[in-house]
Amino acid sequence: MFSLAKLIKPALGLLAGATMMAAATSLAAADDTHVVFVTHGQSGDPYWSVVKNGMDDAAKTLGVKAEYLAPETFDMAKMAQMIDAITASKPDGMVVSIPDAAALSGPVKNAVAAGIPVIVIDSGGSKLTHDLGGLLFMGQDEFQAGVMAGERIKALGLTKAVCANHEVGNSSLDDRCAGFAKGLGVDVPVMNGVIDPTEMKNRMIAYMTAHADTQFILAVGASGAEPTLAALDEMGLAGKVKTGTFDLSPTILQAVVAGKMEWGIDAQQYAMGYIPVAMFDLWKKYKIMPIADYPTGPGFVTKDTAASVIDLAKQGKR
């Protein structure tokens, strides 16, 4: 004889336990400011973890309830559905990244139409933000940042370069590569990689083996830069093949200090997490909102300045 209760009780117990763990993290008062971030980058990513740290620190300091949401993989349909769900849940403010304008414009417009104030961070740009009815854009002009990177490498007299893209389909990263090619003044091939660091490293080793004349590698984010550094170390090319990257991490900064990397382009993404929370809190309490965009980058962190930033990067602030 089998017993229904014997099987279902532990299952329901597990479900109840999981639910209580989730519920325990969300005991905010109803009158707290409620801000939701919906981005395309997972909170475990080296770049986006800093955004989330900024959000968490601001929420803790100001007594605001803030949530960070992102699809498990780079998926615009999933992200659009998340924005729709958050719109229906009616937070006091929504912070979004817009890596694909065509896919996300509709859901963001709907959020604005539903009376939810929206701040756009990281990707999307100023014009799109205001076209959609967003309050302001925080971030950097990715194409222009790429141009500046290309010009720096051109000044070193290098022409054979590759752009390592770890997140295929993200138009902001495509802009970085395109800007870099323009700044360098030559066609730059794009090596399409993946988020997984081991796979990314292996692809970079294969690419460099096949293209041994490559003089410079531009990584378009920390998730591409760290495996690239590991690949060059493994091949004995660290410091010989020059590299640069968008975004910072402790590993990147140590590589810059050690001369294995030319620079890291700092978008100051901690501010992208912190400042919108503070802005929405001011907006809810006093109807105060800045009237201009907030450019956070690009800033080139070189050997001269990297050492002073390493400790902050280890704390997840840079």
Please give the residue ranges that form the binding site for other proteins (CB under 8 A). 2, 4, 7-8, 10-12, 14-15, 17-19, 21-23, 25-26, 28, 34, 36, 43, 65, 67-69, 71-78, 80-82, 84-90, 100, 102-106, 110, 114, 167-171, 174, 190, 192
Cβ contacts of 65 within 8 Å, gap of 6 or more: 26, 28, 32, 33, 34, 35, 59
CB-nearer residue toward other proteins: 17 or 259:
17
**How far, in Å, CA of 33 to CA of 61, rounded?**
13
| Shortest Å distance, C-beta 233 to other proteins | 27
| Shortest Å distance, C-beta 30 to other proteins | 10
CB-nearer residue toward other proteins: 112 or 257:
112
| Shortest Å distance, C-beta 150 to other proteins | 18
Beta bridge partners of 38: 69, 96
| Shortest Å distance, C-beta 170 to other proteins | 8
CB-nearer residue toward other proteins: 115 or 157:
115
**If you compute the radius of gyration of the chain from its CA atoms, what whole number of angstroms results?**
21
| Shortest Å distance, C-beta 25 to other proteins | 4
CB-nearer residue toward other proteins: 42 or 268:
42
Q: How far is CA 121 from CA 16, 93, 124, 314, in A?
A: 36, 13, 7, 23
**DSSP states of 95-121:** EE--S-HHHHHHHHHHHHHTT--EEEE
Q: Do 132 and 189 contact (CB within 8 A), yes or no?
A: no
CB-nearer residue toward other proteins: 1 or 291:
1
CB-nearer residue toward other proteins: 3 or 291:
3
In 25-65, which residue ranges form alpha helices assigned H by DSSP?
46-62
Distance of CA 109 to the CA centre of its chain: 22
Other CB atoms within 10 Å distance of the CB of residue 251: 17
| Shortest Å distance, C-beta 85 to other proteins | 4
CA angle 158, 161, 167 (to 5 degrees): 145
